[in-house]
Amino acid sequence: MMQWGQFMSHDMAKTTLQPSANCKTCEPVPSKCIPVKISEKDPNSNFKERKCLKISRSAPVCGTGTPAAPRQQLNENTAYVDGSMIYGSSTKDLHKFRDGRTGFLKMDRFNDMMVLPFDHGKCLSAQQCTASFVAGDIRANLFLGLSAMHVLFAREHNRIATELQKLNPGWSGDRLFQEARKIVGAEIQGVLYREFLPKVLGNSFMDVIGPYKGYDPTIDATISNEFTTAAYRFGHGMLMVSIRNKMGYDISVFEKSFKTILFGN
């Protein structure tokens, strides 16, 4: 539940932040930094030494931030559930993820397993590399479980593209890629509306969501501030420090599952 929720969050929203280099002190910088003071009574001495959390503000949309127009942040991602965390939200970025003009996504072979392509820009040398994946959303590297979701769906796209190529040998790479992408997007929507949301909303699902009545072009699909910055943050409360203590399971079981998906060991 938690992992799918995070995966979907990165499909719908990503906030542009002001450069963190502007936040050099524990004093606020108008329009750019809102530091959070750490209490002198904080029991963690190492944490207390920092004196504050230096937090960058989100970048404002041009023309907002005045008495006449309240400040609004920019959403870098498409708000639609369309797999943008896999394919990106801009056609200009697509070359980073697509394998040339073929119908396939780029992948690297590691430990005889297919994983997301490594960001070779993070390599100081051939011997010194930071294991950082290139994906449609840069946050794919935040957490091993999230990386596993990205790997799974990249493999799923290539699996579907392979089957479509067998069935339609005359299709161009562009047609093959877009048809596979469309199917993967439909799979994501299916899991979201048929499995995830019914679990989250319970008996309220039919009242809040209701049956699908077809595409309505008059609906504004923009993600609201209230949803992305507040309501959907309930998922953070689903993270557990110790799965063993809460559920009776050893966290190593879950960690091993993710590592098996990524690295085969």
Q: Are 137 and 84 in contact (CB under 8 A)?
A: yes
Q: What is the pLDDT of residue 48?
A: 87
pLDDT classification of 121: cutoffs 50, 70, 90? confident
Give the count of beta carbons closer than 10 Å to the beta carbon of residue 196: 17
Distance CA 72, CA 62 (A): 9
pLDDT tens figures, 131-140:
789 999 989 9
More confident residue, 187 or 128: 187
Report the C-alpha gap between 209 and 215 in whole angstroms.
14
The reported pLDDT for the residue numbered 45 is: 87
Q: Which domains does the chain have, with CATH numbers?
A: 2-16+78-263 (1.10.640.10)
Q: Element (H or E) spanning 114, and its range?
A: strand 113-115
SS3 for 149?
helix
Q: Reply yes or no on whether 120 is catalytic.
A: no
User: What whole-number percentage of the chain has pLDDT above 90?
Assistant: 50
Q: What is the pLDDT of residue 127?
A: 63
**For residue 213, what are its two tokens?**
């009545």
Looking at the chain, the whole-number percentage of residues with pLDDT higher than 70 is: 88
95 in a labelled binding site: no
pLDDT beyond 90 at 125 = no
pLDDT band at 22 (very low <50, low <70, confident <90, very high): confident
Catalytic residue among 10, 120, 150, 157: 10
The pLDDT tens digits of the residues spanning 151-187 come to 999 999 999 999 999 999 999 999 999 999 999 999 9
- Work out the number of other CB atoms within 10 angstroms of the CB of residue 178: 14
CA 74, CA 128: separation in Å to the nearest integer? 36
Helices (H), the chain: 2-12, 45-48, 84-87, 144-167, 173-191, 197-201, 205-208, 225-229, 243-247, 251-263
CA gap 70, 32 in Å, rounded: 16
> How many Cα atoms within 13 Å fall on the side-chain side of residue 5?
17
Residue 47: what pLDDT? 84
pLDDT the model gives residue 258 = 54
| Cα three-residue angle 259-263-265, rounded to 5 degrees | 70
Looking at residue 9, its pLDDT comes to 93
Q: Supply the mean pLDDT for the chain.
A: 87
pLDDT at 242: 56
DSSP for residue 138: G
Burial track 95-126 (b if 16+ CB lie within 10 A, e otherwise): eebbbeebbbbbbeeeeebebbbbbeeeeeee
CB 68 within 8 A of CB 53: no
Q: What is the pLDDT of residue 245?
A: 46
Position 185 scores a pLDDT of: 97
CA–CA separation, 139 and 17 (whole Å): 14
Write out pLDDT tens, residues 227-252: 888 899 888 887 766 555 445 555 55
Type and span of the H or E element at 110? strand 108-110
Residue 58 pLDDT greater than 70, yes or no: yes
